[in-house]
Amino acid sequence: MSERAVYRTRFAPSPTGALHLGNARTFLLSWLRARSQGGEILMRMEDLDHPRVKIEKVEQVYADLRWLGLDWDGEIMVQSRRVEIYREIFKVLQQKGLVYPCFCSRADIQAAQSAPNLGDDLVYPNICRDNKSNIKAVAAERGCAWRFNLQDCRILKYYDNFLGWREADIRRTSGDFVVARTAASGLISVAYQLACVIDDHESAVTEVIRADDLVNSTFRQRMLYKALGYGFPEFLHVPLVIGNDGRRLAKRHGDSRISCLRARGQRPERLLGWLGQTCGLCAKGEEVELGELLSRFELGLIPKSRVTVTAADLEYLGF
Ligand code: GLU
C-alpha cells in the first residue's frame, strides 16, 4: 500500500433534511481538523436511500457549508452515481459466503426480540442465518435483505481518536446486519454500511470523522473492511448535538436549519462563535471568523460531553 502522507477526511451529508446545528458542528470540526494539519477534506453526497431527492436540497447543503466558509477538495462524490460499483463489490461478499438472504419483516424481528434492545437499532436475532427454505422462490416473490454473518465475530475493539478505546460485542448489540437488498425485480441496492466503507476506502480517507451516534456503525464497518481486505482508516467520533430531551437534534426541538439563518441575513460569525464556544475555542457571546477559529483549534479543548441546544441558544443565534 502507498504511504499515507496526506491527511484526508470527508464530509458525508445525507440530503434527507436540511443541514442543522448538529451537522454544522460536526462538519466544522471535520474541516478544522483537516485544515489545521494541512490536510484534505472531500465531499460525498450520501443520497443512496433517496434517489428521488430534489437537486435543490443537495445544493442547499453545499450552500449552507459555503456560507460558513467551509470548502472541500476535488470532485464531489455522489453515491447514487456509484451503484454499479457497489454491486460488484457486494458480489465479492456473496462469493466469500459472508452474507445470507433474510426475509424477515420489521414486525418479525420485533416479535423475536428476547433481550432488551441495547442500542438504537433493532438487534437482529439471526433468524434467517440457517434458513434452508426455498430461498430463490421467496426472493423472486418479495425480494430480500442481505445480512453480514457475524458467526465468527468476536468482541471488537478499536482506538477512537477522540473517545479513546472502544469495545463492543456486535453479535449482541446489532446482530447480523444488512449490507444490501434485492428488490423483487432482482435489482440489488447496497446499504449505507457497505457503501460508506467502499467510498472511504476508494477515496483513501485516512480518518473518518462523524458524530458519536455512529460509533455502533464503526464496529460493523470494521467487519466489512476486514472482509474486503481493505486497510482500516482511523476513526474520530465527536459528541452529538442533542435537544433538551437528550435526543438527537431534530425538528421537534425548534428550527435550527442553517438555511434559515442564511435567509434571515444572519452573519456566519455569530454561529461560528457559538459553535466555537461548544468546542472550547470561544468565550460566551463571542463572534468569530473561521480563520480565527482555525488558529485556535485544538482537539484536546473539545469537551467530551454531548452538546445540548436550548431554546435560549436558538434565540441567541437568531432562529
Ligand atoms: N450520511 C451520514 C449522516 O448524515 C453520515 C455518515 C458517515 O459520516 O459515515 O448521518
The DSSP result for 204-215, as a single string, is T-SEEEEEGGGH
Q: Is the pLDDT of residue 248 over 80?
A: yes
Q: Using the mean position of ligand 1's atoms as its centre, give its distance from the Cα of residue 197 in Å.
A: 12
Q: Using the mean position of ligand 1's atoms as its centre, give its distance from the Cα of residue 119 in Å.
A: 18
Q: Using the mean position of ligand 1's atoms as its centre, give its distance from the Cα of residue 58 in Å.
A: 14
In whole angstroms, give the CA distance from residue 278 to residue 301.
Answer: 10
Question: Which pLDDT does position 115 carry in this prediction?
Answer: 54
Q: Rg of the chain's alpha carbons, rounded to an integer? A: 21
Share of the chain above pLDDT 90, in %: 77
Question: Which pLDDT does position 56 carry in this prediction?
Answer: 83
The per-residue pLDDT for range 287-311, each reduced to its tens digit, is 999 999 999 999 999 999 999 999 9
Question: Which pLDDT does position 138 carry in this prediction?
Answer: 67
Per-residue pLDDT band at 177 (split at 50, 70, 90): very high
Question: Which pLDDT does position 142 carry in this prediction?
Answer: 78
The per-residue pLDDT for range 131-147, each reduced to its tens digit, is 766 666 666 677 899 99
The answer to whether 198 and 89 have CB atoms below 8 angstroms apart is yes
Residues 6+ positions from 158 with CB-CB distance below 8 Å: 165, 166, 218, 219, 222, 232, 235
Residues 6+ positions from 97 with CB-CB distance below 8 Å: 149
Pairing of strands 177-182, 188-190: antiparallel
Per-residue pLDDT band at 12 (split at 50, 70, 90): very high
Question: Which pLDDT does position 15 carry in this prediction?
Answer: 87
State the average pLDDT over residues 19-43: 97
27 or 111, higher pLDDT: 27
Q: Whose CA is nearest to atom 5 of ligand 1?
A: 12
Question: Which pLDDT does position 114 carry in this prediction?
Answer: 61
State the average pLDDT over residues 76-95: 97
Please identify, by atom number, the ligand 1 atom nearest to the C-alpha of residue 213. Answer: 10
Question: Which pLDDT does position 184 carry in this prediction?
Answer: 86
Least confident of 86-90, 102-106, 282-286: 102-106
In whole angstroms, give the CA distance from residue 176 to residue 114.
Answer: 15
Q: Using the mean position of ligand 1's atoms as its centre, give its distance from the Cα of residue 193 in Å.
A: 10
Identity at 221, one-letter amino acid code: Q
In whole angstroms, give the CA distance from residue 256 to residue 284.
Answer: 19
Pairing of strands 144-148, 177-182: antiparallel
Q: Is the pLDDT of residue 57 over 50?
A: yes
Is 205 near ligand 1, meaning CB less than 6 Å away?
no
Cα 51 to chain centroid, rounded = 18
Share of the chain above pLDDT 70, in %: 92
Pairing of strands 241-242, 164-168: unpaired
Question: Which pLDDT does position 118 carry in this prediction?
Answer: 46
The answer to whether 236 and 242 have CB atoms below 8 angstroms apart is no
The answer to whether 33 and 242 have CB atoms below 8 angstroms apart is no
